[in-house]
Structure 1
C-alpha cells in the first residue's frame, strides 16, 4: 500500500476532492511513521490536508496511528494530560507551568509533554522547567516514575516519539505547519482521562474537541491561550471548548481582573527574567497580574480534572504552596 490513493482523494480538485476517513487517516499515518511512504507523498499528503482544512476524523485517525507506534505506558495514566507544542511567539514568561504545579499539589498527576521548536531564551518552556520545579523525564519509564513520586513531569517529544518529531520538523522544509501539530496535542500518550489544550488559531478549538470525542476522551478544555499554550488571559473573557463526562461542552470564563496588559512585554526587546517564576512562587515578589494568570489557568485545569470548587481550591493551594517543600522545590 502507498499514500497515492489518499493523495488522490485529497487533491482531485474543486468539487471532486474529499477528506480522509478516520480509518484512511490511521492507515496513512501508520505508513508515514513506519517510514514506508515516499517522502514526496508524505509532504503532499500533509500539505493537502492543510490546504483543504484538517477534519476531526483525520486528526483522530492520525492520533490513533501515532499512539499505536509508541511504547506502552508503564504505569497508571496521568490524571491530566497537558500538551505543550506551541512555538511561543507573542508571549511572555510561561506562567502556566506554575499552574500545572498547583494542579499536581491537588493530587492530580500532571503529564506535560511537548516540543517548542527552536524557541530559546527567557520565554522558553524548556528553559523554564527547572526554575519552575518541574522534572524532565528521559523517557516513558522515567515519566511514569516521576508522576508517582512528584506528581508532575515534562516528557520531551524526542524521548518517546522521535519519528513524530521528524514529521513535526517538516515545517522547516515545507514552510508551513501541518496536521502533525494538531495530532500531537490530542495524542495523550498516557491515556489520561482528562486533558487541557491550548491553540493559537481559534478554529482549532472546536476541531480538537471533536477529535478528542472520536478518541473517547471524557474530559477536555481547549482555549486560545498565551502563545498557543493552555494559559488564560485574566483580563479577558475566554471562550472554552471541550468535553465533560464524555459529552460535548462549551462555556465562557469571565474576566478575573480589570488590569489590561499583554502577556508579552509591551516594549519590544524588553527583558524577561525566568527567575520571576521562582520569585512569584516563593513570595519574593508580588505581581497581581501574573498571579491571576496562574490561578485562572489552574482553576480551569482543576475543573477539567473534576474538581467542582476549583477556584477556592486553586486559591487555597496557592496560599500554602510553600508550606511543605515538594521533592523538586522551586529555586529562590
Structure 2
C-alpha cells in the first residue's frame, strides 16, 4: 500500500482501502462502471477527495468490486493518493460547458425589425427576406408585417429591386432569348378603369415586327384582366414553359399566365387578399417576366411609385424600357392630357412628357376608354384590330401604347416613328394577323396530350 494511503482503525477489521488494494476498485461515474485495477505502474497523480475524482467534480461513489465492502459515504479515509496503470480522470481543466444555443433570426425577422425602426432595407436584405416568403417558410403574420412595414415606410428602389429578384429566383423560367423580346403590362389599380389597351397594343406591336412575351394575370383591381380578355378572344392561357416557348417561335407572340410561372407567390396570396391594398408585390409582378425580357413598357397607376419602378428596372439589367403614368389616372399612355414617361436605358433614367395631341391622336373624353366585362372588351379589341375606324378613342389609345412597345423593341429610332409604325400595322391588318397566329398556336397546344406524372 502506498505510504500516503491509510486505512481507518477498525479493530482489526480491514477497511475499504485494503479491500480496494487487494480486489480492485469500481468507479461509478455518471452511471458508468469502470474497473480500476491495482497495483499499477506509472501514471500521474489523481486526486480523490470526499468521493470525488480529478478536480473534485466528477466522482460519485467508490466501492469494492463484487458487492463486498462498499463505501456508501465519501471515502474520507482517502486523503490524497496515487493510482497507477489506469487513468481515472482526464485533464485537470474541466471541459467547457457549451452555452445554450439560440436560433439565429431569419432574414425575414431581421427585415421586419429594421422596418419597425423605420429603417430602409438594402437590395440583398430585401431579396433574402422575400426569399423566405417565396419558400413558404413565413407565417401570415410575418408576411403581413413585411408588406405593411414597406408600405407604411414607403418602398425604396432597392427594396423593389430586391423583391423582384426574389420573385425571379423562385419563378419557372421560359427558356428563350429574352434580349429581343418586349412586354407590355401595367400594375393595375388606376383611377380610370379602361379596356385592355396594353393587350391590344401587344398584338399591334407583334404585327409591326416585335417579338412579344406578354406577361399577365386575371383581374384583381378592374373588371377584366389580360388573362380574362385573352380567354374571351379564344386564346388558351394554360401553357407551361415549353409550350409558351413553342408558341412564341411559331406566332412571334405568346402569353405567360402569371400563376403558371410564379407558384411561389401563392404563399402570400391569402395575406394580400385580406390586406386588400396595393403593396410592393403589385410592383414586382411586371418586373418578373418569366421570359426574362429586358425591353418593356410598364404602366403605373400611382405616380409616386413610377420613379421607383424606373430605378428598379435600372438595377435589374434592363436594356430599354418606358415607365408611364397618365395624369388622368391611367396606367397606360393616354390619348387625353399628358402622360409622364420615365425612360430607362441600361442604368440611366431620363424623364419626359408625352402629349397625344402632338401626334394627332388626342381624345376629349376619357370615359370613352372605359372597360366592361371580358366578352365586351374582347369584342372591342377584335373590332379595333380588324378596322378600328368606328372607335377613334380606342384606336388612339392602342396606337400610342403600341408605338412605345415598337420603340423599346428597337424597331424604331424614336417614339414618334414607333407610333407611325403602329398606325401602319393597325391599318394593314397585321395586328389582327398576330392575334390569329396566337389563336392557332395555342389551339394546337390545347390539342396536344399532356404527359401524366409517373406513379
1:234 aligns with 2:340: no
- After superposition, residues 39-58 of structure 1 pair within 5 angstroms as 39-58=140-159
Between the aligned partners of 2:191 and 2:177, the Cα distance in structure 1 is: 34
By how many angstroms is 1:124 displaced? 4.0
Structure 1 unaligned spans of 5+: none
Tell whether 2:288 aligns with 1:187: yes
Q: Which residue of 2 aligns with 1:293?
A: 397
- CA 39–245 in structure 1, closer or farther in 2 if over 3 Å, else same: closer
Q: Distance in 1 between matches of 2:139 and 2:124?
A: 20
Partner Cα distance (1:272, 1:177) in 2: 27
Q: Which residue of 2 aligns with 1:6?
A: 111
CA spacing shift, 1:74–1:272, aligned 2, 3 Å: closer
Does residue 159 (structure 1) correspond to residue 269 (structure 2)? The answer is no
TM-score (norm 1): 0.86
Q: 1:86 aligns with which of 163, 177, 188?
A: 188
Candidates 303, 317, 327, aligned match of 2:437: 327
Q: Give the number of aligned pairs.
A: 324
Secondary structure, aligned partner of 2:356: coil
TM-score w.r.t. the length of structure 2 is 0.64
Residue in 2 that maps onto 1:303: 407
Show the counterpart of 1:115. 217
The answer to whether the aligner puts 1:59 opposite 2:160 as a matched pair is yes
Q: How does 1:239-318 map to 2 (within 5 A)?
A: 239-256=340-357, 257-263=361-367, 272=376, 274-283=378-387, 286-306=390-410, 307-308=412-413, 309-318=417-426
Structure 1 runs, 4 residues or longer, greater than 6 Å off: 226-229, 265-269
Distance across 2 between alignment mates of 1:265 and 1:294: 10
Larger Rg: 2
> Alpha-carbon deviations, 1:38-68, whole Å to 9, x = none?
3311211111001000111111111111111
The farther-off stretch of 273-282 and 191-200 is 273-282
Q: Distance in 2 between matches of 1:25 and 1:225?
A: 30
Specify whether residues 156 and 328 from structure 1 end up closer, same or farther in structure 2 by C-alpha distance, changes over 3 A only.
closer
Superposed CA deviations along residues 248-288 of structure 1, whole A, max 9, x for unmatched, are 1211112234431114668999x955312212222276111
- 2: CA distance, partners of 1:88 / 1:97: 16
8 Å Cα contact 2:251/2:438 also seen in 1: yes
Asked if the contact 1:84–1:116 (Cα under 8 Å) also holds between the matched residues in 2, the reply is no
| Secondary structure class of the residue paired with 2:192 | coil
What are structure 2's unaligned runs of at least 5 residues? 1-104, 441-455
Residues 169-178 or 123-132, more deviating = 123-132
